[in-house]
């Protein structure tokens, strides 16, 4: 039986996915009719990006599952028209890319690279950084991406303290959960990485109170979601030196508006939501495997917990 799979994402993604997704489905033993447009009455599965055209899932009477192309699901998780299972993207390429981006930005601040790279005016001012083993990194979120980043940083000898909703254990990483755990992580984090999903429980988690728990002069790196940070609180903390630098990849409004104070702030680095991208080759294998599982009556991988919001 041929399965009708609707690909709902930006047009440029179709070009990137059409061949590799068809081929991954074939390898998984699936016969699929993969299209960008289709009679809604015939759709079995939707491959879904939140910035694509679909928001009303009520128009697909045969829909068996929606397979997200993004790791973050905040814009779909509360959609009342979606009554069938939703999976999110967990992709080895996405995790690898995030570990590289986070490690690069942690090392920039740890080594004080800016002082050397930007200061080429013949001043000879050696500043020796501590070893990584003496620089504590806090990781808020110890999921697929937080785990990959924590492992990469611990591999360089950074002491990593991580925080999650439920208790977790990870070799070589000090793990915490709950409100008391958050305070413990923040109190030690000279460099703090945010890799939490956006939910009602995590919105504005980096507020005045929590910023003040961090060591003076700490660095914030946010590749998670813009709404994790209370922007006014962060700007205040940057202006008084409580936070020495913020490297921000994600924002409440994207693209970041031209008049946003982050652009002009000397201690803020803005990157345009590039920390990590879903890679079509590896992501297609995940989607094909989940369709195969659903057809075989097996549990799909990476199901979103709609109650928890991620």
Q: How many CA atoms lie within 13 A of 158 on its CB side?
A: 29
DSSP 229: B
Shortest Å distance, C-beta 308 to ligand NAP:
7
Catalytic, out of 151, 177, 265, 273: 273
Concerning whether 166 is annotated as a catalytic residue, the answer is no
Shortest Å distance, C-beta 243 to ligand NAP:
19
Q: Which is nearer to ligand NAP, 38 or 268 (CB)?
A: 268
Shortest Å distance, C-beta 310 to ligand NAP:
5
Asked if residue 112 lies in contact with residue 127, where contact means CB atoms within 8 angstroms, the answer is: yes
Shortest Å distance, C-beta 213 to ligand NAP:
15
Q: What share of the chain is helix, strand, coil (3-state, %, to 5)?
A: 35, 20, 45
Range 19-27 contact pairs with CB under 8 angstroms and sequence separation of 24 or more? 20/280, 20/281, 20/284, 21/47, 21/280, 21/284, 21/287, 21/288, 23/284, 24/284, 24/285, 24/287, 24/288, 25/284, 25/288, 25/291, 27/285, 27/288
Structure token pair of residue 12: 């440029």
Binding-site ranges for ligand NAP (CB under 6 A): 71-72, 94, 141-146, 163-166, 168, 195-199, 201-202, 223-225, 249-250, 273, 275-276, 310
Shortest Å distance, C-beta 98 to ligand NAP:
6
Nearest residue to 31 (alpha-carbon basis) of 70, 4, 58: 4
| Partners of residue 270 on adjacent β-strands | 248
Q: Which is nearer to ligand NAP, 36 or 92 (CB)?
A: 92
Catalytic, out of 105, 110, 165, 225: 225
Concerning whether 105 is annotated as a catalytic residue, the answer is no
Sign of the CA dihedral running 234, 238, 240, 244: positive
- Which residues are catalytically annotated? 225, 273
């Amino acid at each position: 039986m041929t399965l009708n799979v609707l690909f709902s994402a930006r047009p440029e993604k179709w070009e990137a996915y059409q061949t590799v997704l068809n081929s991954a489905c074939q390898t998984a033993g699936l016969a699929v009719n993969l299209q960008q447009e289709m009679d809604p009455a015939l759709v079995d599965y939707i491959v879904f990006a939140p910035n694509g055209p679909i928001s009303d899932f009520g128009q697909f009477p045969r829909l068996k599952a929606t397979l997200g192309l993004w790791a973050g699901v905040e814009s779909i998780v509360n959609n009342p028209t979606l009554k069938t299972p939703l999976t999110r993207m967990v992709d080895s390429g996405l995790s690898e890319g995030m570990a590289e981006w986070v490690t690069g930005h942690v090392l920039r601040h740890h080594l004080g690279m800016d002082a050397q790279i930007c200061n080429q005016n013949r001043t000879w001012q050696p500043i020796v950084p501590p070893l990584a083993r003496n620089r504590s990194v806090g990781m808020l979120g110890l999921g697929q991406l937080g785990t990959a980043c924590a492992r990469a940083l611990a591999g360089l000898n950074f002491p990593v303290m991580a925080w999650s909703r439920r208790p977790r254990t990870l070799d070589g990483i000090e793990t915490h959960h709950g409100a008391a755990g958050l305070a413990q992580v923040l109190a030690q984090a000279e460099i703090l990485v945010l890799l939490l999903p956006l939910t009602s429980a995590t919105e504005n988690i980096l507020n005045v109170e929590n910023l003040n728990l961090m060591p003076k002069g700490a660095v914030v790196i946010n590749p998670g979601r813009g709404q994790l940070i209370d922007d006014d609180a962060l700007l205040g903390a940057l202006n008084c030196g409580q936070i020495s630098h913020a490297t921000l990849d994600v924002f409440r409004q994207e693209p970041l508006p031209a008049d946003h104070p982050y652009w002009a702030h000397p201690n803020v680095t803005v990157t345009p939501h590039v920390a990590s991208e879903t890679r079509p080759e590896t992501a297609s294998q995940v989607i094909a495997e989940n369709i195969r599982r659903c057809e075989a009556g097996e549990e799909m991988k990476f199901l979103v917990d709609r109650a928890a919001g991620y």
